[in-house]
Amino acid sequence: MNTRLVFVHGRAQEHKDAIALKKEWVGAFEEGLAKSNLGFPVPESSVLFPYYGQTLYDLVNDANSIADVIIRGTRDDAERRFQREVLAEVQRTLGISDSEVQELLGGDIQERGPLNWAWTQGILKAIDRHVPGGSATSIAVATRDVYQYLRNPGIRDQIEKGVRKALSSEAPTVVVSHSLGTVVAYNLLRREGESQGWNVPLFVTLGSPLAVTAIKASLAPIEHPACVAKWFNAMDERDVVALYPLIKNNFDIDPEIENKTDVRNKTANRHGIAGYLDDKTVAARIYEALSR
């Protein structure tokens, strides 16, 4: 039986056609394969694309989901703290000083910290200054969606439903995930993989925020999914959603994850899936796992 390929997408996929999205992923993968003169390794019928984008949007998004509404508008202090702690970590990683944040706010600063709206606005503005094409609003929305997935069992169950069906134990399955999808796939594989009898010869995470402190803490204890034989992580170091490679200091599991940190993602924010799947090495690693 052919090894199957499952793509697990990230956020911001609402109002899109699942078939067209699958073609975009397949097309980007084919571009990466062509750089090594490789053909597509499995029949198209063996490529599964569980789509939850509209479900996620309907469950957690507001029509006015801009950063000030997302971060200021929530009534859940735990959610606000989670979102703002992630942004503060991005600030530190990018080397943005508090004085720069204060300058951008143009006035006296009230209490600094995860529950202070004005200070968070300054961090958002500073991120946009430091990361061309990397929208701080997108980071804020992505963080909100990750929080809702991790902390709301109803949302988690709805998102995982289709992914779980794609991970049948009937055949070996290479899982390729992106952004929020890496959190969903990791959580599901770790929690249910062994008991469900899933066989994952390769788990690929692209543009993953798994090593961000608040996200990692929400997933504790961190461990290697028993059903996964090998784990390959790839990122562009300019991708502020990914933030860190999944190396021992950041994501300490055994066996260690293989990391590729020199992807040159062609998309505007350095985070788009097309700029990961068309990478020569990323595509070759997926091909090798599917061809065994």
- Which one of 124, 150, 176 terminates a domain? 150
Q: Who wins on pLDDT, 130 or 172?
A: 172
Overall number of domains in the chain = 2
- Which one of 133, 150, 167 terminates a domain? 150
Per-residue pLDDT tens digits for 80-98: 888 888 888 888 888 888 8
Cis peptide bond prior to 255, omega within 30° of 0? yes
Cα separation of 82 and 224, whole Å? 24
CB-CB contact of 253 with 8 (8 Å): no
**Is there a single domain that holds both residue 140 and residue 188?**
no
pLDDT > 70? residue 132: no
CATH of the domain at 162: 3.40.50.1820
Task: Classify residue 267 by its DSSP letter.
Answer: S
**Is there a single domain that holds both residue 285 and residue 172?**
yes
Cα separation of 245 and 71, whole Å? 26
* Nearest by Cα to 239 from 218, 213, 263: 263
pLDDT level of residue 69 (50, 70, 90 thresholds): very low
**Is there a single domain that holds both residue 211 and residue 171?**
yes
Per-residue pLDDT tens digits for 204-243: 999 999 999 999 999 999 999 999 999 999 999 988 889 8
Give residue 140's domain range: 60-150
